[in-house]
Structures are given as structure tokens and as C-alpha cells.
Structure 1
Amino acid sequence: MIEFERLHHISLAIRDLKQAKQFYGSTLGFQELVRPPFDSEGAWYAIGDSQQLHLLEFPDGETLRKSEINSIDGHFAIWVKSYQNTIQSLEAAAIPYEARPNSLAGFSQIYILDPDHNIIEFDAAYGS
């Protein structure tokens, strides 16, 4: 049997590394990590203490989605400390979002798209 410890990283395809680094690093404030010198272009970011986000550049975009937010499509979710502070940060950065403060999931949800239409979900306790 496989003994799982934790999720290590999520990899997302992106079209434009410079644009993605601006969005994830500057706009959302993810901490960039040192990435090994692979033959491909990309960037690594810390999510919390032990998880990572890996961005992989595909300039031709053949593997990337093009539609708007659909929560049943592939996405990744990050638990945040404050629903209200996250909404305020997204609004201050002029990032469109879909808010579900009273989600049937049992916690509040906020969905956004990155520049390549990868779906990001922010989750928080009700009323936070």
C-alpha cells in the first residue's frame, strides 16, 4: 500500500512565463522558489510550508483551456485565513472573481482565472 504524506506540488501549463510570473508573484504574492535548470521554461512557487506550484511554459498553448470559470473543471484550491481579506485583495488588484460565500461545500469559496484560464479556488471558513 502507498503511504501518503502530503501533496507536494501542482503543475500548471502556461503560455507566457513573464505574464504568469507577474500574476502569481507580483499580483497574488506567491513566493518564488529556485527552480532547477531544466531544458524547459517555468517557475516554482511556495504554497504554505510544504506545497508548491510549478508553472510550465507551453508557448503554443495546445494543452491549455480557454473557457471561463467552471468549478467542475480541473483546478487547485488554497485554504486562506480570511474570506473577506481575500476578496479585498482581489478587488484591489482588479482580478475578476466568482464568490460563493455560503457554498454547499461547507466553507466559503472564491474562484479566479489566471492569465491562461487555469482555475484557482480560494477556500475559507464561513464568516472569516
Structure 2
Amino acid sequence: MIKKPIIVSFLLLFLIAGSAISALAQNGVKANHVALYVKDLKKSADFYKNVMQLKEIPEPFHDGKHVWLRTGEHSQLHLIEGAAEVTQHDINSHFSYSVNNLQDFSKHLDQLHVKYGNWKGDSKSPQLRPDGVKQVYLQDPDNIWIEVNDDKF
């Protein structure tokens, strides 16, 4: 027979451990910014502002070689001019943004004549991930792949 103090001690230990794990998860690693080294800063900044619809924010350098954009409440995209050339990238290396309405975003891309499609690149129809999220892929002026999806997380 297990005594009540042992059960109470076990429950308290379980609750304390659970709280500690929760606190670690909340105070763990979070995305802050992505920095991209780009060939043509103006072209890249125009793409991210007009195609991806990101808002430009102040950057501290004021040297004409940096553009910072807001990507989330506490995250940013930093564009840095100076890449020697534009290179090819595999679609497996990509970053992702979520939009409220993927169909509206696709119409926006169509209006701007921006090429996009599914993972294979053989259709403009969104691809369905195993978790039910719809996604399309496009490339920025430096051929960096971007996934845009309708994940509501």
C-alpha cells in the first residue's frame, strides 16, 4: 500500500517538473531574424516589399547596403548587399511564410506576373502537406526558395 505523503510528493514533483519544462519551452530558442546576402539590394528589397508584402523597418547602419523588413511580431528579414553573384539553390533549402488566404496571395502573384508553383514546379495549384496545409513555392531575385502557406498555427 502506498502512503498518501508519497503520492502527494510524487504529484508535487510531477507538477514542478512540468512547470519547469513549460518554462524552458517558453524561454527557449525563438526566431529573431534571417539575414540574406544579396546581389542587388534594390531588386531584392522591391521583391520583399512588393511581392511578399513585408514592411520596411529602420535599420541601424544607414550605409545603403542594408534593408530590414518585418516578418512577424518579433522577427525580421535583413537584406545585405554584396553577394558576388546569383547562384542556384535547391528547393529543399527554403524558408516559409504563412498568409491568411493563399488563394488571394496567389492572385497577387499572378497580377505581378511572379512565377510560383507546387514542389515539382509543374502546376500553380497549391500542394497539400500531410498536415492539411496548402503551400506554393517561388524564388526571390537571388533564386532563394520561399514557401508560402496557409498554416494558421
Q: TM-score, normalised by structure 2?
A: 0.68
Larger helix proportion of the pair: 2
Tell me the distance in 2 between the aligned counterparts of 1:47 and 1:98: 22
- Which residue does the alignment assign to 2:5? none
- When the two chains are superposed, the root-mean-square deviation of aligned CA atoms in Å is 2.5
| Contact 2:66/2:80, CA 8 A, preserved across alignment | yes
Structure 1: runs of 5+ lacking an equivalent: none
Could you list the runs of 4 or more consecutive aligned residues of structure 1 that deviate by over 3 angstroms after TM superposition?
Answer: none
- Which residue does the alignment assign to 2:3? none
The equivalent position to 1:108 in structure 2, one of 131, 134, 145, is 134
**Paired residues, what number?**
121
SS of corresponding position for 1:117 = coil
State the identity %: 26
Which is greater in Rg? 2
Query: Quick one: which amino acid aligns to residue 52 of structure 1?
Result: Q
Cα distance change, pair 7–95 in 1 and its aligned pair in 2 (3 A): same
Q: Which has the higher contact order (CA 8 A, sep 6+)?
A: 1
- Which residue does the alignment assign to 2:21? none
Q: TM-score, normalised by structure 1?
A: 0.80
C-alpha displacement at 1:9, in angstroms? 0.7
1:57-114 CA deviation, whole Å, 9 max, x = no partner?
12413xx5325xx431x21101111111111111111100013332335311111100
Larger strand proportion of the pair: 1
Query: Quick one: which amino acid aligns to residue 112 of structure 1?
Result: L
Cα distance change, pair 78–27 in 1 and its aligned pair in 2 (3 A): closer
2:102 is the alignment partner of 1:83: yes
Structure 2: runs of 5+ lacking an equivalent: 1-23, 119-125
